[in-house]
Structure 1
Amino acid sequence: MPSARCSVPGRVPTDFDVAVVGAGSAGLSAALVLGRCLRWVLVLDGGPPRNAPSPAVQAFFTRDGTPPAKLLNLGRAELQAYQSVEIKEAKVVSLARCGKHFELTLEAPTGHRSTRTARKVLLATGVEDELPPLPGMRELWGSGVLHCPYCHGWEYRDQPLAVYGRAKLVTGLALLVSRWSTDVVACVEDPGNLTQNARRRLRRQGIAVREEPLVSLEGTASGELRHLVFESGEPLARKALFIHAHQHQRSALAEEMGCRLNAKGAVWVSKQQQTTVPGLYAAGDNTPGTQQALLAAAEGSAAAISINETLTREECPR
């Protein structure tokens, strides 16, 4: 589809009204709303989403249990009905504010570079998980090693489970996971920092504590967890291990643009999903809050409504 020239009196014409960087749940949801608003939209798909290793997206209304790739394919198919929405396979290698619009430098899979302009930009670029450097952790990620009990707890209910992490986070996660199973073991990375109160809370809930260092995970070729292997003591047979993985922004665009980030590295946004850079919005896992596909889609929808209303005010000045 050829680029549209979006012209507003007193402004430099742009190729699109909105460029959406990221084609996951947040980005496609935003594009759907903007397409229904008759906005010219460019969606830039820079690669697979964070939940690609997961067998299914859970707790997504009407789509519970849908494989991640299938969910996104359904979203892309819906966008075909909106002729003003274009999806392009490309990575945004640079983003610049030029007066009252933005210029994006794109890199196609072939390496060819081009530029596009847009009045507003939505960053739906997601995050990358930083997994503990233990053998088996990466291989079992998304199947035997999990990040979200709300997403996967039901599938592993009443099974022997474990939680791994630093003392500051492991207690709360273990107590949460115990909602789905009465057989939960907390594997503490730094047991010296596990307070007596935390130990008491875990003990009261029937959660055992393993303090010896975890050295590897054993599983099957299909991604099923079998054992947790420790530096000393017997291996622990478990069906799943939950962790709070550290994360970083998948894209450096927000930081390069000077957006405010919070203490955890998430992009700060207002209630309207607006970053601290005028005209630049963000939605999905790259912003603060609970991370879930359904919530990312909701944020994308909210951002789209905010963007459309801002564009409308600019087009209809008082």
Structure 2
Amino acid sequence: METTSTIPKGLFDVIIVGGSYAGLAAAMTLGRSLRRVLIVDSGLPCNRQTPHSHNFITQDGEKPGAIAQLALKQVLAYPTVQFIQGKVTEAQRNGDHFTIKAASGEQYTASKLLFATGIADIMPNLPGFAACWGISVLHCPYCHGYEVKGNKLAVLANGEMAFEYVRLLHQWSQNLVLLTNGSSTLGAALTDKLQQHNIPIIETPLQELVHNDGYITAIRLADGSVLEVDAMFHKPAFRQHCDIPEALGCTRTEQGFLQADEFGKTNVPGVYVAGDNSSMMRSVAAAAAAGNKAGAWINKELVEERF
């Protein structure tokens, strides 16, 4: 693994900020295209607490960190790709190029920037939630639903989103309960639909998640009652893990994602995004696919500019 002192100065074709699945997939595509690439990664992937990754062909059940380590090893086998661990603190355009600055003070310049920086989850102020997040408090049924199929599941949500979430999860388990953590905003029609499927709606506020090393066993409610569960699903609020793309002028969607086309191209010429920061399809497989497409499109753009 490279360090800042061994990275030669000069112009890179592409600097990739974020070296997890999307960033590494893009780096492989670009490395195989003989592009000079620098990956800068802070080492804080959002799934670092998750014990196993699923629904990614050839890697089903593998540890997320092991997938990333193998990917980095394979990417760095391409001699034009280099890696440093550190945090990018700022970036600016200089004519046709971009210069980034790392927390170490080092500066690097490239023709294109790709931000594969992910998102940061905003945890509810609920004791036990953070400890269980990614282990037994889950967000994606496609990633984790099979492992808890048929179990006693709670869904923490409210309103129309809660209804959509519950009926999706009903495919994996019919032993479901919806926790609205306060007054329900479902409305009569959606409430009736859930009742038709024997799904209880509990409006009592939550007090605590009872767990053993991140594995939830029960939910304690504000009225003192205890609900035994095997897992809980929740989609927390989030923020962008990195605010540099917006500082460069990149726009966001109403949902808070960085806005880009299907190949990761933003409204700022030369700036691309890939992975969780720009897509609600939050999975290892989706992130890798997004990085692969962004890498190919960046190479295409460089070809068109230089040939």
Aligned to 1:139, the other structure's residue is in SS state helix
User: TM-score if structure 1 supplies the norm length?
Assistant: 0.92
Report the identity percentage: 34
Quick check: 1:167–1:190 contact (8 Å CA) kept in 2? no
Does the 8 Å contact 1:3/1:16 carry over to 2? no
Other-structure match for 2:287: 296
SS at match of 2:112: strand
Q: How many residues align?
A: 303
Instruction: Say whether residues 1:139 and 2:131 are aligned partners.
Output: yes
SS at match of 2:177: strand
The alignment status of 1:91 with 2:91, answered yes or no, reads no
1:307 matched residue in structure 2: 298
Deviation, 1:233, is: 5.4
Asked whether the equivalents of residues 263 and 290 of structure 2 are also in contact (C-alpha less than 8 Å), the reply is no
Q: 1:224 to 1:180 in 2, by over 3 A?
A: same
Task: Tell me how far apart the structure 1 counterparts of residues 160 and 222 of structure 2 sit (CA, whole Å).
Answer: 22
The letter of the residue matching 1:196 is A
Q: 3-state SS of the aligned residue for 2:110?
A: strand
1:165-204 to structure 2, matched below 5 A, reads: 165-204=157-196
Aligned partners of 1:34 and 1:304 also within 8 Å? yes
User: Which amino acid in 2 is paired with 1:273?
Assistant: G
Q: Which amino acid aligns with 2:111?
A: R
User: TM-score if structure 2 supplies the norm length?
Assistant: 0.96
Residue 30 (str. 1) matches residue 26 (str. 2): yes
Change (3 A) 1:288 1:80: closer
Partner amino acid, structure 2, of 1:299: A
Q: 1:298, CA displacement in angstroms?
A: 0.4
For the aligned residue pairs, the C-alpha RMSD in angstroms reads 1.3
Query: Residue 154 of structure 2 contacts residue 178 of structure 2 at CA under 8 Å; is this kept in 1?
Result: yes
Partner of 1:214: 206
> Counterparts of 1:62 and 1:231 in 2: how far apart (Å)?
44
1:158 equivalent in structure 2: 150
CA contact (8 A) 1:167 1:189 kept: no
After superposition, residues 15-26 of structure 1 pair within 5 angstroms as 15-26=11-22
Deviation at 1:182, TM superposition (A): 1.3
Contact residue 175 and residue 205 of structure 1 kept, 8 A: no
Residues 243-291 of structure 1: CA deviation (Å, up to 9, x unaligned): 0111110001111111110112110002331111100000000003311
Which is further off, 151-160 or 190-199?
190-199
Deviation at 1:219, TM superposition (A): 0.6
Give yes or no for the alignment of 1:241 onto 2:232: yes
Of 162-171 and 148-157, the range deviating more from structure 2: 162-171
Looking at structure 1, the residues matched to 160 and 48 of structure 2 have their Cα atoms a distance apart, in angstroms, of 28
Asked if the contact 1:105/1:114 (under 8 Å) is kept, the reply is yes
Whether contact under 8 Å (2:250, 2:266) holds in the other structure is yes
**Residue 81 (structure 1) aligned with residue 77 (structure 2):** yes
User: Helix, strand or coil for the counterpart of 1:28?
Assistant: helix
Equivalences for 1:245-284 in 2 at 5 Å? 245-284=236-275
Deviates more, 1:287-296 or 1:23-32: 287-296
Output one character per residue of 1:214-250: Cα deviation in whole Å (capped at 9) or x when no partner: 1111011x22111111111521000001001111100
The Cα offsets for residues 165-215 of structure 1, whole Å up to 9 and x where unpaired, read as 222321111111111111000001343412111111211222111111111
CA distance in 1, matches of 2:160, 2:275: 25
State the Cα distance separating 1:46 from its structure 2 match. 1.2
Cα offset, 1:4, TM superposition: 6.2
Give 2:50's aligned residue: 54
The answer (yes or no) to whether the contact 1:4–1:15 under 8 Å persists in 2 is: no
Cα contact 2:181–2:202 (8 A) shared by 1:
no
> Aligned partner of 1:69: which letter?
G
Q: Structure 1 residues 172, 135: closer, same or farther in 2, change over 3 A?
A: same
Contact 2:53 2:61 in 1 (8 A): yes
SS class of match (1:199):
helix
Structure 1 gaps of 5+ residues are 6-13
Is the CA contact (8 Å cut-off) linking 1:4 and 1:16 kept in structure 2? no
